[in-house]
Amino acid sequence: MSAAAAAAVRGPTPVLAEQPPLRDELEQELSYAAVVARLIDLAGGSLDPMLVNPLALILREEGLLEMDGVSFGSDYALRIRSNELERGYTVALCHGWLRPEDGRATLTGSPAKRLAVADAAAKHRVGELTKLSRVGLTAAARPLLLSR
């Protein structure tokens, strides 16, 4: 069978939807990782990973932390979730910005130097919020999620 005949049998080649360049996707993933690293920096360099999402939601709603492209939702147990921040956490681990230790994510020295110095209001608020239990922090964040 000739090439032309084979092409006629297969039909026309489907046109795939244009995908964003991989570079743009990687830059977006790194920006999510930077948000996670900044949150952990605000918390003093170490934070329970389960607190990242509710903490980020509260800080965003209070205008203390800018997060472009980050969305929030909840699962069946009504835990605050963000797919973007969960991917950012993974990227930060893979790039060596964070290391897991004793059930907490600890900021390594290299990204801490690259992060902007935290403003006092955000650092103070994070200090208040991280004194809450995981359940207490989620309870504080949940009304912000449900009010949207």
The pLDDT value recorded for residue 2 is 63
Model confidence, pTM: 0.76
Rounded to whole angstroms, the Cα distance separating 16 from 63 reads 40
pLDDT digits over 24-76, tens only? 888 888 899 999 999 998 998 899 999 999 999 999 999 998 888 899 998 88
- Domain assignment present for 14: no
- Domain assignment present for 128: yes
Closest CA to 108 of 28, 15, 25, 37: 37
- Domain assignment present for 40: yes
3-state SS class at 98: strand
Domain count, the chain: 1
Domain that holds residue 75: 21-146
DSSP string, 36-64: HHHHHHHTTSEE-GGGHHHHHHHHHHTTS
Rounded to whole angstroms, the Cα distance separating 80 from 50 reads 9
| Conformational region of residue 78, where left means phi above 0, alpha means psi within -120 to 50, and beta covers everything else | left
Q: Is the pLDDT of residue 13 over 60?
A: no
- Domain assignment present for 16: no
- Domain assignment present for 8: no
- Domain assignment present for 109: yes
Please name the residues in contact with 45: beta carbons below 8 A apart, sequence gap of 6 or more: 106, 107, 112
- Domain assignment present for 68: yes
- Domain assignment present for 7: no
